[in-house]
């Protein structure tokens, strides 16, 4: 959820914060803190929506996600996530590549590099976007960095045909297309022998992939093959840009052996600078946009016997503050929260996680993770473990060093065993 959804309005229920609503923020909550926009003394801001416990697990979920609440016992919440980045671009880079500096491979590229793909006619890593905009960090969040570019994510279009030029131009037969590619292949191989440039070899593979995709991708991306009940369950609108469409596409791609599917939904930056981004207006629309399709995806994977072997991960790049944003030092017209790297919530489902669990805790106002803290690198180590890897062993030689997704100078990166089934 690009932009960082507020944990206070979704999963991290804090009755104490409700009691403080409207009071001046205590000085100790501001001293030594870095904020993107808060100035002066803001007011404390209680949760804007009602919370209830759901399922046998008793998970706290707000009334903005009524559909997701029905699968609460399938979810494993990590409520003690934290990061050291408080601006969108660097934070998104960190949560996807393990570094806030551009140039690192995304976790999807690492997974594809390590595991390959089960379908040689489709990319091993596909990115789908919705919300009208790419993430702030751009395409780096599905890039391959210093890994060979064959492992980078392939972005598919969110409106109209997901992949352009799947059909041959008028007058060009498939046989003619094959002969043209064979000629290009001979030319590219000669160049590769002369220059030794690995990107030329990648180009050969991409041409061949494109040829194979003409048949396989046309089938995979054809949502019209699904029955009316499935479309109703997801709330899809074929042909339009839609997070619901992308959730259904994710299931279709997963069952065809695509290794890693990344969905980005933009617009979760709830500062309160306008009606569309405010917690008391636009936030509810965002929740309604994702609630039904995410729930449908989990139920659909489970019904097809795929959830056990499919890891589903939901989250943003950081959390939101327990105080109201006062950009410029004054109260704003709409209700919003500033960026908060100290605490946010991620949840996972399927793929070997402990269902019906909440791991970690934040303080009484949801400002800082205080129990069983989980860093972004811990999350990466755990995801790689669930995919079958030791995060210290999955590496790639670059600049004289065996680089890793969790390749940081800090010690103590760990697999979060409390979330494993």
pLDDT single digits (tens) 91-123: 999 999 999 999 999 999 999 999 998 888 888
The band of 244, judged by pLDDT with boundaries at 50, 70 and 90, is very high
Cβ atoms of 342 and 320 closer than 8 Å = no
Taking the C-alpha atoms of residue 421 and residue 382, their distance in angstroms, rounded to an integer, is 12
In this structure, are strands 361-362 and 369-371 parallel, antiparallel, or unpaired? antiparallel
pLDDT band for position 410 (cuts 50, 70, 90) = low
The dihedrals phi and psi of 81, each to the nearest 5 degrees, come to -65, 145
414/421 Cα distance (integer angstroms): 16
The residues, any chain, with a CB within 8 Å of residue 203's CB and separated by 6 or more, are 188
Polymer length in residues for the chain: 421
Average per-residue pLDDT in the chain? 92
Per-residue pLDDT reduced to its tens digit, 28-74:
999 988 899 999 999 999 999 999 999 999 999 999 999 999 999 99
Under 8 Å between Cβ of 269 and 283:
no
pLDDT at 161: 64
Pick the most confident of 262-271, 275-284, 406-415.
262-271
Per-residue confidence (pLDDT) for residue 158, from 0 to 100 = 67
Show the CA angle centred on residue 277, arms to residues 273 and 278, nearest 5°: 75
Tokens of 371: 């129990």
Task: Tell me what percent of the residues of the chain surpass a pLDDT of 70.
Answer: 95
Model's pTM, two decimal places?
0.89
Alpha helices in 268-373 (DSSP H): 282-303
What is the rounded CA–CA span in Å between residue 404 and residue 145? 12
pLDDT at 160 over 90: no
How much is the pLDDT for 307? Answer: 98
């Amino acid at each position: 959820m690009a932009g960082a959804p507020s944990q206070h309005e979704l999963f991290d229920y804090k009755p104490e914060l409700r009691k403080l609503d409207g009071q001046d923020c205590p000085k100790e909550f501001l001293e030594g803190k870095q904020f993107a926009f808060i100035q002066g003394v803001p007011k404390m801001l209680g949760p804007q929506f009602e919370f209830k416990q759901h399922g046998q697990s008793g998970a706290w979920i707000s009334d903005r996600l009524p559909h997701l609440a029905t699968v609460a016992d399938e979810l494993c919440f990590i409520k003690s996530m934290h990061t050291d980045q408080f601006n969108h671009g660097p934070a998104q880079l960190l949560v996807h590549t393990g570094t806030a500096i551009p140039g690192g491979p995304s976790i999807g590229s690492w997974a594809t590099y390590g595991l390959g793909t089960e379908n040689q006619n489709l990319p091993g890593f596909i990115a789908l976007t919705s919300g009208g905009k790419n993430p702030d960090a751009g395409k780096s969040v599905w890039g391959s960095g210093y890994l060979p570019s064959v492992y980078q994510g392939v972005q598919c279009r969110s409106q109209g045909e997901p992949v352009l030029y799947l059909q041959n131009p008028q007058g060009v037969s498939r046989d003619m297309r094959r002969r043209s590619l064979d000629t290009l292949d001979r030319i590219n191989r000669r160049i590769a022998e002369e220059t030794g440039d690995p990107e030329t070899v990648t180009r050969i593979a991409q041409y061949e992939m494109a040829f194979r995709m003409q048949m396989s991708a046309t089938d995979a991306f054809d949502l019209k093959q699904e029955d009316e009940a499935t479309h109703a369950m997801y709330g899809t609108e074929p042909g339009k840009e839609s997070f619901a469409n992308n959730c259904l596409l994710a299931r279709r791609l997963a069952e065809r052996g695509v290794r890693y599917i990344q969905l980005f939904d933009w617009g979760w930056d709830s500062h309160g600078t306008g009606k569309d981004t405010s917690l008391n207006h636009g936030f509810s629309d965002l929740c309604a946009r994702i609630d039904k399709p995410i729930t449908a995806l989990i139920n659909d994977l489970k019904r097809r016997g795929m959830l056990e072997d499919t890891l589903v991960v939901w989250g943003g790049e950081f959390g939101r503050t327990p105080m109201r944003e006062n950009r410029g030092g004054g109260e704003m017209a709409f209700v919003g929260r500033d960026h908060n790297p100290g605490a946010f919530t991620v949840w996972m489902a399927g793929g070997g996680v402990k269902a019906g669990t909440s791991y970690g805790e934040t303080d009484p106002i949801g400002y800082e993770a205080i129990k069983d803290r989980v860093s972004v690198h811990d999350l990466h180590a755990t995801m790689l473990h669930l995919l079958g890897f030791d995060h210290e062993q999955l590496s790639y030689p670059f600049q004289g060093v065996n680089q890793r997704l969790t390749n940081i100078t800090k010690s103590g990166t760990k697999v979060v065993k409390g979330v494993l089934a």
